[in-house]
Every structure is written in structure tokens, then in C-alpha cells.
């Protein structure tokens, strides 16, 4: 079976121009059903490149053939279109989940226990995230091996309580090349962390979020070409 855990995909023309997103269902040995809410194309789409978002295998892009898109009606009265998508050639795969890292700018509040003393309400900002960990900045001084706890909120995710261990420390003068812009607060310190004690469901949710953000970035890059 070419997919194992996949519910979403993005459809591109054979020239890699983004068309739309699709829901994935009824996965078989070399095909699946794709369902889209809107289909704005001038000519019938019979061949395409499809990037499947598989939470186990990663981002996999195939050259695909479609049967005719058929229209169906939801109970709400809105239209949907669906087609059988048959894969013919694998074009690319990003397989290792921790290789995918996406840039974000998300304020969080940390808590930690340092030398037996509990600290809370520590202001921080997450600058990138992967399924394996995060990079954040804060005025609080930590040492490698310290752990931090925080609630991660995002519209694409349920609220998650995460725990991370600090692996590396970046001083202020090193932050610009990581964050990508000038950091005016000279008291900020950067910390690269790995997630610890991460439940399988939370890992899957974070991995799905990272894959999804990467797809959005790829779509944006495609629109510039």
C-alpha cells in the first residue's frame, strides 16, 4: 500500500502549479479517493502531481492519473467533487519526520524547576518547531539539561502540554542567523530543545501540524514561480 496514515493532500498541475487541497479516503494498493470542496479549473484535470500528507511516511509526491471528477451534494446543500486517484510514479519523499522544521513566531509561557526551585510565568517565543523539538528565546537563563513545560496553542491543534529538554544555548549575537532578523532585545537567549515524555498522540498531532505548515510554505513558493 502506497500510503498508511493519510487524510490530506495537495493537488498540483504537472507543471507544479498549485490547484487545491483534498481530503484522502478509501486508500487501496495504488489508489485513493480524493475529495475537494472547490474545483476551479478551465480544462478537465486527468493528470497531476499530488503531495500526500502521510503522518507515518512523511510528505510523498506522486505523479497521478484521475478519473473524471464527479459532483456530490452534502447534507448542508454544498457541492463536493471526488475522483479516484491512481499513482503512476513517485516523484519525491521527505521521509524522516524530524527533518521537517518550520518557522513560527508563537509566544508561550514556560515553567521550569531549576536547582530545586520552581519557576513559572517565564515569557518566551518559539521560533521553529519540528516533531522532535523547538527553538525558543527568553530572558530567563537555563543550562543544558534543564527542562521546561508549556502549553502550546494553535488554531490547527488542540491545546497540548509539552515538555522539552534544553540541548544547546545560543547567545544573543548568534540569534539573527537563526531567527532571520535583527533581535533588538539584547537580553534574549536562544535555546534548542528536544521534546521529552511526548505521548504518541501528541507527537502525531505535532508532526501533522509541521507537515501541514510545510505544505503551505511549498504552495506559497510555487505561487511565486
This model's pTM is above 0.85: no
Angle at CA 170, nearest 5°, toward 221 and 121? Answer: 95
Given a cut of 80, whether residue 28 has pLDDT beyond it is: yes
Residue-level pLDDT at 133: 92
Question: By mean pLDDT, which of 2-16, 26-40, 42-56, 67-81 is the weakest?
Answer: 67-81
Name the most confidently modeled range: 94-103, 120-129, 207-216: 120-129
In this predicted structure, what is the pLDDT of residue 85?
94
Instruction: Check pLDDT > 70 for residue 98.
Output: no
Question: In this structure, what are the phi and psi dihedrals at residue 213, rounded to the nearest 5 degrees?
Answer: -65, -35
Share of the chain above pLDDT 70, in %: 87
Encode pLDDT of 124-171 as tens digits.
999 999 888 999 999 999 999 999 999 987 776 678 889 999 999 988
- For 145, the grid coordinates are 539539561
Distance CA 147, CA 113 (A): 7
As a dihedral over the C-alpha atoms of residue 140, residue 144, residue 150, residue 156, rounded to 10 degrees, the angle is 110
pLDDT of residue 159: 80
Cα 73–chain centre separation? 30
Does the structure show a pLDDT above 60 at 35?
A: yes
Amino acid at each position: 500500500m502506497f500510503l498508511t496514515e493519510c487524510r490530506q493532500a495537495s493537488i498540483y498541475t504537472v507543471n507544479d502549479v498549485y490547484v487545491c487541497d483534498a481530503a484522502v479516503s478509501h486508500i487501496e494498493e495504488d489508489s485513493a479517493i480524493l475529495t475537494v470542496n472547490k474545483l476551479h479549473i478551465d480544462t478537465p484535470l486527468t493528470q497531476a502531481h499530488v503531495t500526500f500528507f502521510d503522518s507515518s511516511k512523511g510528505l510523498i509526491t506522486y505523479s497521478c492519473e484521475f478519473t473524471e471528477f464527479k459532483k456530490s451534494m452534502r447534507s448542508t446543500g454544498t457541492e463536493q467533487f471526488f475522483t479516484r486517484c491512481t499513482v503512476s510514479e513517485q516523484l519525491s519523499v521527505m521521509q524522516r519526520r524530524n527533518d521537517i522544521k518550520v518557522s513560527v513566531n508563537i509566544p508561550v509561557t514556560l515553567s521550569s524547576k531549576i536547582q530545586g526551585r520552581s519557576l513559572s510565568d517565564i515569557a518566551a517565543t518559539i521560533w521553529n518547531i519540528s516533531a522532535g523539538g523547538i527553538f525558543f528565546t527568553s530572558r530567563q537563563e537555563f543550562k543544558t539539561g534543564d527542562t521546561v513545560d508549556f502549553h502550546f496553542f494553535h488554531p490547527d491543534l488542540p491545546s497540548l502540554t509539552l515538555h522539552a529538554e534544553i540541548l544547546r544555548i545560543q547567545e544573543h549575537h548568534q540569534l539573527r542567523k537563526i531567527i532571520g532578523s535583527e533581535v533588538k532585545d539584547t537580553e534574549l537567549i536562544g535555546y534548542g530543545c528536544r521534546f521529552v515524555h511526548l505521548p504518541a498522540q501528541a507527537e502525531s498531532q505535532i508532526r501533522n501540524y509541521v507537515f501541514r505548515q510545510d505544505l503551505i510554505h511549498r504552495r506559497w513558493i510555487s505561487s511565486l514561480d
